[in-house]
Amino acid sequence: MSFSEDEIAFRDSVRRVVEKHVAPIAAEIDANDRFPEELVKLFGEMGLMQLWVPEKYGGPNGNLTMMCIAREEVSRVSPACGSIAGLNTMFIMPLLHFGTEAQRARFLPVIARGGVVTAIAISEPQAGSDVGAMSTRAVKDGDSYVLNGRKQWCSYGVVADYIVLMARTSGESGAEGISAFILEPKKMKGITFGRHERKMGWRGAPNTPIFLDDVRVPAENLVGEEGKGFRASMRALDLNRPTIGAQSVGLAQGALDAAVAYAKERRQFKRAIAEFQGLQFMLADMVMQIEAARALVYECARAGDAGDWQRLNVLASMAKCFASDVAMKVTTDAVQVFGGYGYTMDYPVERMMRDAKLAQIFEGTNQIQRMVIARDLLR
């Protein structure tokens, strides 16, 4: 992948921070399912969390390519920590594309200062891939909206200062009638959180149900117009899916690096196992798949940076789907390279394999991504 001098310098600076601050705690975060608050402070000081805030609001004025670079580098050792890089993107995007200037002026400078955790709440227990099935409702009452319902799988919501939440303002089903609201969970009454989901992987990134009981939200916290929330959420997802692809590439690269190092050291039949052709073929397939996934991810990022929204939509699905499938395949093969040791928690590939599975599911399952790709192809 060809990067500019500035992008290479950015990548190298992130890589140094990862080696010093993330790699030493990656296994501990997974073992204890601990949210690494220290990285919120560190990444905020570096401008990584708020990477996409425009310069006019005090932000780093980053782009999709930089987001992908940051997440790939951090995810080489921990995709859960990789999510903290650019964490505020899903909150920022609806404001940039659909919000008012007053909302941008109010929230973006605060986020630009760093250390602020944000989240986006879309899914519900019965509304995952079928976003139009959401039932959380917002009813206008004077100069406020009153929200009732439940959200599921809201990443980082339990520790968030601000949440963009989708709720139905009209109709009973379908995308029309869904609106976006800015919630301040640490200030607003009626917001409670359920039990932390006990996940197979991606531990350290909290997912907690959100319960809304007569939550009163000021009308000025409505993002854009009523009924435009679905469009806002889809635009945010289109711009975030390539970064999931980047995390998958980073995760796969980390697993390959570990497998190559182990294969050179591990000896059987009086020779390093890296000398056996069968294992060499496995490693060759792994690196080819990773390079193909990386090329697709950054081609998608370039389309996003160029504002080519039509092309971005299908490329985002391709990048997320292909890269996460590659991560699952590569991490599984890495465990095989390690043999019995790969199945133990003493080596990182076991954790990497568990982490890879989630990338095939969240941000739209890979089955949904294939539907998007096929519809575009057959249109």
Query: Catalytic positions, please?
Result: 363
Angle, CA of 186, 192 and 197, to the nearest 5°: 110
SS3 184: coil
SS3 238: helix
Phi, psi of 187 (to 5 degrees): -120, -30
Cα dist. 181→28, 104, 158, 190, 237 in Å? 36, 13, 17, 15, 17
* CA–CA dist 146, 163 (Å, integer): 16
DSSP character at residue 339: G
**Which is it for strands 118-121 and 162-168: parallel, antiparallel or unpaired?**
parallel
The C-alpha atoms of residue 127 and residue 123 are separated, in whole angstroms, by 6
DSSP class of residue 20?
I
Mode of pairing for the β-strands spanning 162-168 and 178-183: antiparallel
> Of 375, 127, 374, 316, which Cα lies nearest the Cα of 229?
127
Output phi, psi for 124, to 5 deg: -135, 170
Q: Which residues, including other chains, have CB under 8 Å from residue 323's CB and lie 6 or more apart?
A: 244, 245, 246, 248, 249, 252, 293, 294, 296, 297, 359
For the chain, the C-alpha Rg in angstroms (whole number) is 21
Q: Are 75 and 16 in contact (CB under 8 A)?
A: no
